[in-house]
Amino acid sequence: MSDETPEPPLWEQLADKSANLPQGDRLQKVLAATGWGSRRVCEDLIAEGRVTVNGDVAILGRRVNAIEDHIEVDGAPIGVRPDLVYYLLNKPVGVVTTSKDTHARPTVVELVPREPRVFSVGRLDVQTEGLLLMTNDGDLANRIAHPSHGVEKDYLAEVGNGRVSPGGLRRLREGIELEDGLTAPAKASQPEPGLLRLTIHEGRNRQVRRMCDAIGHPVRRLVRTRIGPLSDRSLAPGAWRELTTAEWKAITEAVAQGDLGYDPEL
């Protein structure tokens, strides 16, 4: 008789291993949520050994933290699929945030590669310049667009009529009554006379311009300098670049925390 202890069945080994793994969402659910296919397709990817978590080949039943764990499919971080692109564009004045324009004005899609076809996440009016996110990831765009979310956006506004009074800054910070209701409190500062730095998290139509009009300082120039975790002072007007993996993860984390939202035309 052999003294060796028989090896437990494979299903029992996997169950024991899974029980000792971190808890969270099931891996196939996370993969499906980031656009890798239906849950059944994602289960097949896992079963075929094509998915790794923190460098280890994943097993069915694995639970993960989508924010903290490093998950790859065929060596590519989830969400950064070969068929998905994410561009950060610095929109110049005079360019419209549409795919086509009836007045033959230049559009933002003409400033980025034609293939694959992308669309803007949020809008800036024709006279507003600054950062704009463009992608063909409809799932991410839809989650960003959901009205229950909101993201902080930073703007620099050059305004008329000289220095804004302390009372005007206080009104911006406390909220201003517009025709569509009271605005949420904004972060507002004046680095120099006639120059405002504003941070808002709402996305009302032309909101920054209307807020400045309400305190008697119409906007002469408006630049969006930050969208949530995205910023780039070195990006020239009309230039674009792809998001880094770290930036993509930061946006995904913001969406997961209910902290990133759609920005209607400002």
Summarize pLDDT for 73-101 with one digit per residue, the tens.
888 777 666 678 999 999 999 999 988 88
pLDDT at 260 over 50: no
Structural domain containing residue 237 = 86-148+231-256
Check which CATH number belongs to the domain holding 92 and give it: 3.30.70.580
Tell me which DSSP letter residue 96 carries.
Answer: B
| 232 catalytically annotated | no
109 located within any domain? yes
Whether residue 56 is found in the same domain as residue 188: no
Which range, 140-149, 155-164, 194-203, 248-257, is most confident? 155-164
125, 139, 213, 232: which one is catalytic?
125
Whether residue 91 is found in the same domain as residue 130: yes
Count of structural domains within the chain: 3
Whether residue 98 is found in the same domain as residue 138: yes
265 located within any domain? no
Check which CATH number belongs to the domain holding 162 and give it: 3.30.70.1560
- Domain end position, chosen among 30, 52, 77: 77
DSSP per-residue string spanning 173-227: HH--EETTEEPPP-EEEEEETTEEEEEE----TTHHHHHHHHTT--EEEEEEEEE
Q: Report d(CA 207, CA 213) in Å as an integer.
A: 10
pLDDT at 261 over 70: no
119 located within any domain? yes
pLDDT at 57 over 80: yes
Whether residue 141 is found in the same domain as residue 124: yes
Whether residue 140 is found in the same domain as residue 113: yes
Q: Report d(CA 197, CA 202) in Å as an integer.
A: 16
Q: Report d(CA 229, CA 246) in Å as an integer.
A: 10
The secondary structure of 151-169, three-state, reads CCEEEEEEECCCCCCHHHH
pLDDT, mean of residues 92-114: 91
pLDDT at 199 over 90: yes
Whether residue 217 is found in the same domain as residue 241: no
Check which CATH number belongs to the domain holding 55 and give it: 3.10.290.10
247 located within any domain? yes
Summarize pLDDT for 128-167 with one digit per residue, the tens.
999 999 999 887 777 776 545 567 899 999 999 999 999 9
261 located within any domain? no
Q: Report d(CA 73, CA 44) in Å as an integer.
A: 12
pLDDT for residue 182: 95
CA R_g for the chain: 24
Summarize pLDDT for 7-20 with one digit per residue, the tens.
665 545 544 554 45
Q: Report d(CA 192, CA 80) in Å as an integer.
A: 41
Whether residue 165 is found in the same domain as residue 57: no
- Domain end position, chosen among 22, 55, 77: 77
Q: Among the listed ranges 180-189, 239-248, 252-261, which one has the minimum average pLDDT value? A: 252-261
| Mean pLDDT of the residues in the chain | 85
pLDDT at 259 over 50: no
pLDDT for residue 113: 96
5 located within any domain? no
Whether residue 131 is found in the same domain as residue 171: no
Whether residue 27 is found in the same domain as residue 71: yes
Q: What are phi and psi of 199, to 5 degrees?
A: -125, 120
Q: Strands of 76-77's sheet, edge to edge?
A: 56-57, 51-53, 71-73, 76-77
Where are the strands (E) in the chain, listed by range?
25-26, 51-53, 56-57, 63-64, 71-73, 76-77, 86-91, 119-121, 129-135, 153-159, 177-178, 181-182, 187-192, 195-200, 219-227, 240-242
Whether residue 244 is found in the same domain as residue 219: no
Which range, 6-20, 21-35, 208-222, is most confident? 208-222
Whether residue 143 is found in the same domain as residue 40: no
User: Which helix (H) or strand (E) element contains residue 254?
Assistant: helix 245-256
Whether residue 130 is found in the same domain as residue 247: yes
Both structure tokens of 135: 């992608």
4 located within any domain? no
Q: Report d(CA 246, CA 244) in Å as an integer.
A: 5
- Domain end position, chosen among 60, 77, 94: 77
65 located within any domain? yes
pLDDT at 255 over 70: no
pLDDT, mean of residues 110-127: 92
